[in-house]
Chains A and B, each alone.
Chain A
């Protein structure tokens, strides 16, 4: 499906054994009682304590704390938890000279794996972009042409092997040190191909995947769980909890078109959510998905809310079946939707569209909600224009 980020804990647990060491970091779930775990750390040791989620610019945002004693680790963790983070990482602090920090990254491309290296690693690598050297490694077999001066070929080959076997798509080690001839990563970021979990042979699993978001609504969680179990594809992201346009869309392409058109007509701030269902989900799956969107809609403080149920002309997603799930969710929430005077704009085509659209019209009429229901004769852009019109 997509490139997703692994926890740094998992990333280092994969890398260290390959590099001839072992990883003694501790992963912390801030949602659980972690005091006991911290007590087991040596009282004399110094530690690094950092948020272990897909957050960019951790250093600059104060989400990495260096040289912490045990008490300071506990304080840092409490602070991270208070900011709404869920996962953190505690590992021994390695004193070093910043001049020894190096940079190495591997990125999968369609012609092979690009390697980037700099002897001037660390936080300001972007400022040192001119120091980066690039080369290409083979897509399937290890080759490196041209070689990079000052970079050990055997080390690269070891990283290449773990990169391939774990189906990584990006590996960034910044910075790392060379200690006793071995690579010691201080900070490691890994993206993997989420479609390859089965083939990665236990290197990682879905519990190792980290999202950037600090908090996730129960509705989003439900949709994520649903998506993980279903052969269909379902996604839901909250953009503005108090938005006015709630999108119940189908199709990866059409859903982007609808969001584009709302933004194009100056309604970007009013878009409450983005998401889509596709791949012919069942009636029950569509019901759960629609219920999640409706719950978000009813919780929004916006006035004159519009529910946009739209999609292109489906190839094989059954319109009547998926609409039956949406209709069931609408009926469940009929009272609240009426009270909030929600307007419903519908546009869809595809297999069994006549039956699906007729059932939708009948339902919305019965529930007494203002609505428009159209097939492919009304275009996607016209549909969005209609939704915008309702709020003028």
Chain B
């Protein structure tokens, strides 16, 4: 056992103490955010929730709603987020909890520890996980722990309560001199409350959990308390069953540091039974005399601990702990009032806001934002929900939109717009009829091509196999083929895009390889403008914008590519509408000979 596995002082001084929560447990996660807020932290410690289908979850930061990133799998979490984390909290079922914690230690690069709050984790799994944790030099509280709280620093789990008032009144949001260590999750909070009531406060508090094989053993927490310079006294609550208290007694005898150690061991009542019933926790059954509460009390007393004869006597001793008055601030009182009445909004938006007439775009005042950016960048930023990182994406988006602005009045959407205009309808109806034409066969190839390139490149499919798969399934390849352009009559738009933005990225290379195969079959089956934009966009998103594959996939799912086309082509449609109104030729009717009546 490494003695410094739970480095409380280290966590106190850590710059990035980000927490990833595995499993969405709103009450617990919100309480962790509330703790950070009430402790005066600039931003939430929880950086992501894993194991959810939503990409964002609504939580509160103070009384304001925020969006917490959500991920289906831990490996979907982006590198920057993973870099900023060092703790994890597992709030998943017993079946999945161990696998989740093992994965966390594998994937999170800077894990110092975590906690598991699950019912019914098998003993064998717990024992295996204990080994994995030791090997990684990380601590894991659990498998049935309410967690760890470091006064004023972090709250990992349900420990200390789930409502803002409770967290604040327990004094946890400020550091204190007393470490509270308990086998029982309920009692750790009882004791935090008692310590606060005595005019003292908590340096850190942790519950081991009542399972037979806790991952972090009580003695390791006692060691952490002895090592922690801020801890001046230790309060310990144990129960009958198990032999952990003997390890603590050994440590107290051997340790160089000496700190007052106030202990109570519950479960003397069991000694009055011939065959005692199982008490509250799995571990609460003495296997032999040495595991009884009385025997363990005796061992601790012999090692110099201050052991109470009864719980009542223990409570009395608690009132004599080193003092640290909690300073209450008026801001906290106001915050708590606002937090009490918070209710979720119907919609959330990061694109823009209007607060009392002050409009912002992406968090900046409207006038400042538009003053600093051209129209394409404004549109792109608003479409993405954030400003682009790279000039390259901005330039590419701008050129794509300009190229897609119109492609002659013959195309379906433009025809519909013109017919509607000539029927005397207004601009909204005419534009809508044009836009409503956009779909899988008109304009929508951009989305389909992007989906196809992304899936093929990410799964390492060979271009030939890609072509063959589509041929076998009698599917068109989105992004390939054009009615007019052919090998000997290339699309000038494609040439322009490739000239400016093809840097040999994996997606455009793949798309060109596909076209090289298809043009051998038919010279019309060239890489078209949709396929080119799609492939170049994927390359720029991954190379210049540093999107992960999961982030790109999520962006595509929002219909982002179609949005580019709709935005650009709306200009053409509006122009065709206005032109028809200027010409004012009257209602359009298809000449009879252009319809074949069967």
**Chain B residues, Cβ within 8 Å of A140:** 124, 128
B253 in contact (CB, < 8 A) = no
Closest CB-CB distance, B329 to chain A, in whole Å?
A: 22
Q: How far is the CA of A264 from the CA of B309 in the complex (A)?
A: 9
- Whether the Cβ atoms of B119 and A279 lie closer than 8 Å is yes
Closest CB-CB distance, A321 to chain B, in whole Å?
A: 12
Contact residues of B between 122 and 147, Cβ < 8 Å to A: 122-125, 127-128, 130-131, 146
Closest CB-CB distance, B23 to chain A, in whole Å?
A: 13
Contact with A along B265-288 (1 / 0, CB 8 A): 011110010010111111011000
**Chain B residues, Cβ within 8 Å of A261:** 310-312
A278's closest neighbor in chain B, by CB? B186
- Write 6 A-B pairs (CB below 8 A) sorted by A numbering: A167-B122, A169-B123, A235-B280, A256-B266, A257-B187, A268-B272
Q: How far is the CA of A199 from the CA of B27 in the complex (A)?
A: 29
Given A199-B122, A263-B272, A316-B27, answer yes or no on A252-B279 (Cβ-Cβ < 8 Å): yes
Stretch from B42-50, B156-164, B589-597 at the A interface: B156-164
**Chain B residues, Cβ within 8 Å of A6:** none
Q: How far is the CA of A376 from the CA of B275 in the complex (A)?
A: 33
- Nearest 4 A-B pairs (CB), nearest first? A253-B184, A252-B280, A251-B186, A312-B190
Contact with B along A102-123 (1 / 0, CB 8 A): 0000001010000000000000
**Chain B residues, Cβ within 8 Å of A198:** 95
Contact with A along B238-279 (1 / 0, CB 8 A): 011000000000000000000000000011110010010111
B122's closest neighbor in chain A, by CB? A196
Contact residues of A between 234 and 282, Cβ < 8 Å to B: 235, 237, 239, 250-257, 259-264, 268, 271, 274, 276, 278-279
- Whether the Cβ atoms of A260 and B310 lie closer than 8 Å is yes
A380 in contact (CB, < 8 A) = yes
Q: How far is the CA of A332 from the CA of B235 in the complex (A)?
A: 42
- Whether the Cβ atoms of B123 and A193 lie closer than 8 Å is yes
**Chain B residues, Cβ within 8 Å of A98:** none
- Whether the Cβ atoms of A264 and B310 lie closer than 8 Å is yes
A370 in contact (CB, < 8 A) = no
Given A253-B239, A261-B312, A264-B310, answer yes or no on A315-B197 (Cβ-Cβ < 8 Å): no
- Whether the Cβ atoms of A1 and B120 lie closer than 8 Å is yes
Q: How far is the CA of A263 from the CA of B273 in the complex (A)?
A: 11
Beyond the given A239-B277, A260-B269, A377-B197, please list 11 additional residue pairs across the A-B interface where CB-CB is below 8 A. Answer: A140-B128, A164-B124, A196-B123, A251-B185, A252-B186, A253-B266, A260-B267, A274-B277, A313-B190, A316-B158, A382-B315
B182 in contact (CB, < 8 A) = yes
The SS class assigned to the A binding surface is: mixed
Closest CB-CB distance, B266 to chain A, in whole Å?
A: 4
B237 in contact (CB, < 8 A) = yes
- Whether the Cβ atoms of A349 and B193 lie closer than 8 Å is yes
**Chain A residues, Cβ within 8 Å of B275:** 56, 212
B94 in contact (CB, < 8 A) = yes
**Chain A residues, Cβ within 8 Å of B448:** none
B146's closest neighbor in chain A, by CB? A315
Q: How far is the CA of A167 from the CA of B166 in the complex (A)?
A: 40
Other-chain contact of B119, A233, A271, A349 (Cβ < 8 Å): A233
Given A2-B282, A255-B280, answer yes or no on A351-B161 (Cβ-Cβ < 8 Å): yes
B210 in contact (CB, < 8 A) = yes
A221 in contact (CB, < 8 A) = no
A231 in contact (CB, < 8 A) = yes
A259's closest neighbor in chain B, by CB? B269
A258's closest neighbor in chain B, by CB? B311
**Chain A residues, Cβ within 8 Å of B282:** 1-3
Q: How far is the CA of A57 from the CA of B39 in the complex (A)?
A: 58
**Chain A residues, Cβ within 8 Å of B193:** 313, 349, 376
A19 in contact (CB, < 8 A) = no
Contact with A along B187-202 (1 / 0, CB 8 A): 1111011100100000
- Whether the Cβ atoms of B158 and A315 lie closer than 8 Å is yes
B231 in contact (CB, < 8 A) = no
Q: Kindly count the residue-residue contacts between A and B in the assembled complex, taking CB atoms under 8 Å apart.
A: 190
B174 in contact (CB, < 8 A) = no
A2's closest neighbor in chain B, by CB? B282
Among A195, A255, A312, A385, residue most surrounded by chain B Cβ atoms (within 10 Å): A195
A25 in contact (CB, < 8 A) = no
Given A196-B124, A316-B27, A380-B190, answer yes or no on A253-B268 (Cβ-Cβ < 8 Å): no
- Whether the Cβ atoms of B163 and A351 lie closer than 8 Å is yes
A280's closest neighbor in chain B, by CB? B27
**Chain B residues, Cβ within 8 Å of A314:** 161, 186, 189
**Chain A residues, Cβ within 8 Å of B186:** 250-254, 278, 311-315
- Whether the Cβ atoms of B284 and A237 lie closer than 8 Å is no
A139 in contact (CB, < 8 A) = yes
Other-chain contact of B189, A2, A212, A313 (Cβ < 8 Å): A313
B212 in contact (CB, < 8 A) = yes
**Chain B residues, Cβ within 8 Å of A268:** 269, 272
Other-chain contact of B315, A253, A263, A264, A380 (Cβ < 8 Å): A380
A379 in contact (CB, < 8 A) = yes
B222 in contact (CB, < 8 A) = no
Chain B: how many interface residues by the 8 Å CB criterion?
Answer: 64
Chain A: how many interface residues by the 8 Å CB criterion?
Answer: 62
A381's closest neighbor in chain B, by CB? B312
A352 in contact (CB, < 8 A) = yes
Among A108, A313, A350, residue most surrounded by chain B Cβ atoms (within 10 Å): A313
- Whether the Cβ atoms of B210 and A351 lie closer than 8 Å is no
- Whether the Cβ atoms of A195 and B121 lie closer than 8 Å is yes
B28 in contact (CB, < 8 A) = yes
Given A263-B268, A268-B272, answer yes or no on A253-B311 (Cβ-Cβ < 8 Å): no
Closest CB-CB distance, B180 to chain A, in whole Å?
A: 12
**Chain A residues, Cβ within 8 Å of B239:** 253, 256
Given A256-B284, A350-B189, answer yes or no on A315-B278 (Cβ-Cβ < 8 Å): no
B213 in contact (CB, < 8 A) = yes
- Whether the Cβ atoms of B127 and A312 lie closer than 8 Å is no
Contact residues of A between 153 and 194, Cβ < 8 Å to B: 164, 167, 169, 193-194
- Whether the Cβ atoms of A256 and B269 lie closer than 8 Å is yes
Other-chain contact of A251, B159, B197, B280 (Cβ < 8 Å): B280
**Chain B residues, Cβ within 8 Å of A257:** 187, 266, 311
Among A196, A251, A352, A379, residue most surrounded by chain B Cβ atoms (within 10 Å): A379
Other-chain contact of A381, B122, B182, B185, B311 (Cβ < 8 Å): B311
Q: How far is the CA of A257 from the CA of B311 in the complex (A)?
A: 7
Closest CB-CB distance, A342 to chain B, in whole Å?
A: 23
Q: How far is the CA of A56 from the CA of B267 in the complex (A)?
A: 22
- Whether the Cβ atoms of A351 and B311 lie closer than 8 Å is no
B183 in contact (CB, < 8 A) = yes
A260's closest neighbor in chain B, by CB? B269
Closest CB-CB distance, B173 to chain A, in whole Å?
A: 16
Q: How far is the CA of A199 from the CA of B94 in the complex (A)?
A: 11
**Chain B residues, Cβ within 8 Å of A385:** 312
Closest CB-CB distance, A65 to chain B, in whole Å?
A: 23
**Chain A residues, Cβ within 8 Å of B94:** 195
Closest CB-CB distance, B135 to chain A, in whole Å?
A: 13
Given A196-B123, A312-B190, A350-B166, answer yes or no on A260-B311 (Cβ-Cβ < 8 Å): yes
Q: How far is the CA of A215 from the CA of B72 in the complex (A)?
A: 48
**Chain B residues, Cβ within 8 Å of A237:** 277-278
Closest CB-CB distance, B91 to chain A, in whole Å?
A: 10
**Chain A residues, Cβ within 8 Å of B311:** 257, 260-261, 264, 380-381
Q: How far is the CA of A39 from the CA of B310 in the complex (A)?
A: 59
**Chain A residues, Cβ within 8 Å of B182:** 253
**Chain B residues, Cβ within 8 Å of A253:** 182-187, 190, 210, 237, 239, 266, 280-281
A212's closest neighbor in chain B, by CB? B275
Given A169-B123, A256-B239, A380-B315, answer yes or no on A3-B266 (Cβ-Cβ < 8 Å): no
Contact residues of B between 163 and 184, Cβ < 8 Å to A: 163, 166, 170, 182-184
**Chain B residues, Cβ within 8 Å of A199:** 95, 122, 124-125
**Chain A residues, Cβ within 8 Å of B119:** 1, 195, 231, 233, 279
**Chain B residues, Cβ within 8 Å of A3:** 212, 282
B169's closest neighbor in chain A, by CB? A376
